Amino acid sequence: MTGNGHDKTQQLLEWAVAELEIPGIVAEVKDADGTWFGTAGVADLTTRARREPGEYLPIGSGGKAFTTATILTLEAEGRLDIEDPVNKWLPGVLNAGGYDGDRITIRHLLSNTAGLFATGLAPELVSGYASRSRFAEHRFDVWTLEDLLKLTVSQPPVGQPGERFVYANGGFYLAHAIIEKVTGNTYASEVERTVIEPLGLTATYVRPEGDTGYRGPHPSAYSTQFYKDGVDPADVTPENWESMMEEPGLQPLDVTEFNTSWMPGNLVSTTSDMIRFINAVAGGGLLPPAQHRKMWTTVSTEGVGWLPHTRYGLGLFELDKAATGGRTVRGAAGSYWGHMFCVLGTPDGEHTIAFHTNTEAESSFGLLFKLAEAELGITIGA
């Protein structure tokens, strides 16, 4: 699977399996020469089956981009305004825990600048999966939207609306609820209508709340992302979480069957579909010009313990031009137990890469940058 100018990328895939203890990795590239697909490692540690094109993959927080695209389409249709306060659509939902639903807007939710705490680290959520035994007990728990809205305000604000970027899944739970309130339809049906159908994403879908399976071939997923014995999830912060994890070297746990109803969007897709999606939203092929500009009006993520060398738009990120030599590279990513997914591309659609690992690889964001450098020819962080 080498050749056609992708030798460095293939070598990096093999390095990732050998050095980062990733069971299997795939990368798909679209450029002027067409489409290239590379793989290393295995889809299943027991059968040793190889990974293959067309696998169905959970995209994690990549689903935030679909939520944003749906909201902005509704704005273009005149059904809402992203400057609307949350209370206009969800009266009282944010009037708890010190939040003010009259001051927090939809834009704040989608840009992670609402002042919401880091919802993904809420003890009520992560304690269910904190250790291997806890994961086994709670892996099929279902989180309803009502549960997630309560989780969103379960800790006090970490800042004022618009003050700074703090990565918070809760903003997208609220956006999910706003979509349903505005339209009277399900979130899944609106994402289908506004994004999936227009782009012809035939292998992309929102998982039903209780679903833990896939509609087609998929890799097994493996995790070592568990806390050490005795760690209280309430003590975990965006700054110290890495030091709380169990020691390396333990056998990975098979986490393929896992209810991820708490994941914003909870979407499944493929590398091919996600390349088509990012090319459309990065280059302006899905949204009208006004909404496209809003999607890519970015804020700094510096110094907040998130993905370095980036700026955040609405549900997606852009690599900092100071780190790319002035080139514009846009993307979406997500990582959680058993998975790391990312898609990166240039706005002109001339060069795009999507990749997936069937574990949440240690230093996974470092891998993201290495692949961007190998495939897109940029030097990040220089």
Q: For the segment 249-288, what is each residue's pLDDT rounded down to a tens digit?
A: 788 999 999 999 999 999 999 999 999 999 999 999 999 9
Cα separation of 242 and 121, whole Å? 12
CA dist 243 → 118, 123, 128, 231, 252 (Å):
18, 17, 19, 10, 18
pLDDT at res. 363: 56
The pLDDT of residue 229 is above 80:
no
pLDDT per position as a tens digit, 101-149: 999 999 999 999 999 999 988 888 988 888 888 899 999 999 999 999 9
pLDDT at res. 1: 38
Q: Looking at this protein, which amino acid is placed at residue 69?
A: A
Residue pair 44/219 in contact (Cβ under 8 Å)? The answer is: yes
Residue pair 367/32 in contact (Cβ under 8 Å)? The answer is: no
Q: Pick from 267, 358, 361: which is nearest to 52 by CA? A: 358
The pLDDT of residue 2 is above 50:
no
Q: Looking at this protein, which amino acid is placed at residue 355?
A: F
**3 state SS of 44:** coil
Rounded to 5°, the CA angle 285-180-333 comes to 50
Task: List the single range of 84-93, 142-151, 298-307 with lowest mean pLDDT.
Answer: 298-307
Beta-ladder partners of 27: 38, 355
Q: Which pTM value belongs to this model?
A: 0.94
Residue pair 282/297 in contact (Cβ under 8 Å)? The answer is: no
pLDDT at res. 4: 57
Greater confidence, 292 or 367? 292
**Three-state DSSP string of 56-110:** CEECHHHHHHHHHHHHHHHHHCCCCCCCCEHHHHCCCCCCCCCCCCCCCEHHHHH
The predicted model gives 149-165 an average pLDDT of 96
Cα separation of 190 and 211, whole Å? 19
CATH superfamily, with its number, for domain 7-376: DD-peptidase/beta-lactamase superfamily (3.40.710.10)
φ/ψ bin of 184: left (φ > 0), alpha (ψ from -120 to 50), beta (otherwise): left
User: Residues 6 or more apart from 332 whose CB is under 8 A from it?
Assistant: 59, 61, 62, 64, 65, 274, 278, 315, 316, 317, 342, 343
Cα separation of 27 and 4, whole Å? 14
Cα separation of 6 and 1, whole Å? 9
The predicted model gives 148-166 an average pLDDT of 96
- Reported as a pLDDT band with limits 50, 70 and 90, residue 364 is low
pLDDT at res. 153: 96
**Structural domain boundaries in the chain:** 7-376
pLDDT at res. 3: 41
Q: Where are the beta strands (DSSP E) in the chain?
A: 24-31, 34-41, 57-58, 205-206, 222-223, 253-254, 267-269, 299-300, 310-312, 317-319, 330-336, 339-345, 352-357
pLDDT per position as a tens digit, 338-348: 999 999 999 99
Cα separation of 11 and 59, whole Å? 24
Mean pLDDT score of the chain? 92
The pLDDT of residue 90 is above 80:
yes
pLDDT per position as a tens digit, 33-54: 999 999 999 999 999 999 999 9
The predicted model gives 222-234 an average pLDDT of 81
Cα separation of 31 and 293, whole Å? 25
Q: Where are the beta strands (DSSP E) in 278-347?
A: 299-300, 310-312, 317-319, 330-336, 339-345
Phi/psi of residue 273, each to 5°?
A: -65, -40
The pLDDT of residue 327 is above 50:
yes
pLDDT at res. 233: 73
Cα separation of 253 and 359, whole Å? 10
Q: Looking at this protein, which amino acid is placed at residue 337?
A: W
**3 state SS of 166:** coil
Query: Number of helices and strands (H, E) in the chain?
Result: 15, 13
